[in-house]
Amino acid sequence: MIMADEQIDIDSFDPPASGSPNIDTHEQKLARKVQDAISTIPDEPSQIDAIAKIRNWFSPDWEESLFYPIIQEYLIGNLDLAAIVKKTMKLIDDAISESRSEEIGQIDFGYSVLHSAKRISFKDERMHAKLVDFVDDIKTHTGNHNDYVLYDTMLSFSGSALETLNDCPGVGAGYSLPESHAYANANYFLARLTKEGVSEFWMCAIWAMRSGLEDILKDDEPNESHVPGTTIEKLNANVPAAAVWVFALGKALYDKEEDLTPTSPNGGNPAKGGDRWKGRSEFSKERWALWKQRFGDVSKNRDVSEETREIAKEAFESMDRWEKS
């Protein structure tokens, strides 16, 4: 399997806090460079590329990546699924035969796939499905390979996914629209992988819901966060990232019932609730109901952006339909 969740215990992994305590002139310079990029680059995918380089996101090696260029060729239609899988497997086979397997481990494959997902709007279901199909096909091929263990190590995906989520608004990213969109797009892709059974990132759904819906957000003081944000900026960034899990998972999220209360005192409590959730660490109908209520609240909040209100309304209405189906 390509997704080596057993190697990285995602269920015991706590997401980053709101950021390091001090903001400095370096961060202010980065923010100015980000705004310059947004103002001079016309399309959002290219803006996201530029911001990734400015903020040093977890991303492919822009000069030497083996996988990223061919993934882009596949996404724009210059390669079909069979062709990109063949090219990818040859890259891996050549690296193994030449004892270069460490050169193209999860840093290249995982980051190449995930950055590609960041560039695709979560509203573009077809393109996300295309990327999911690629990862799924690679998983199938590597699972049947004689060097399965080596392939599994080289193409481990979970660690890359968790690191990518560190590039969230307020931590590794700011609150500009392209940065918020990139974060929502990445969440949507992980949700699609989960829905299609390619890998499981259920815990990431709880993190997104907690940040966007359960936590009581407030304005940061200047030195309180790595990238300080206002309450409204945080809602505009985090509510869409929560909503995409509803859009991608649908009834599977509604039907999900699981007690995630820690069984070990040393394992952390990654599924814990935010300020508004007083129940157990779990997926449950009661927690779903809180999420639905909060989407409804945000959909009526005239202070957030119109886009955020519309996304929250769509999530609320989707949840209502799933409850009645």
Q: How far is CA 107 from CA 4, 20, 157, 302, in A?
A: 14, 24, 9, 41
Three-state secondary structure readout of 21-74: CCCCHHHHHHHHHHHHHHHHCCCHHHHHHHHHHHHCCCCCCCCCCCCHHHHHHH
pLDDT at residue 224 in the model: 78
Rounding to the nearest 10 degrees, give the CA dihedral for residues 233, 236, 237, 241. Answer: 160
Q: Decide: residue 72, CB within 10 A, 0-12 exposed, 13-18 middle, 19+ buried.
A: middle
Query: What tens-digit pLDDT sequence spans the chain (325 residues)?
Result: 333 333 345 554 455 444 444 446 888 899 999 999 999 999 999 999 999 999 999 999 999 898 999 999 999 999 999 999 999 888 877 777 776 666 565 578 889 999 999 999 999 999 999 999 999 998 887 655 555 455 555 556 788 898 999 999 999 999 999 999 999 999 999 999 999 999 899 999 999 999 999 999 999 988 778 889 999 999 999 999 999 999 999 999 999 999 999 998 888 999 999 999 999 999 999 999 999 999 999 999 999 999 999 999 999 999 999 999 8
pLDDT at residue 101 in the model: 61
pLDDT at residue 97 in the model: 73
Whether 212 and 238 have beta carbons less than 8 Å apart is answered as: yes
Whether 126 and 188 have beta carbons less than 8 Å apart is answered as: no
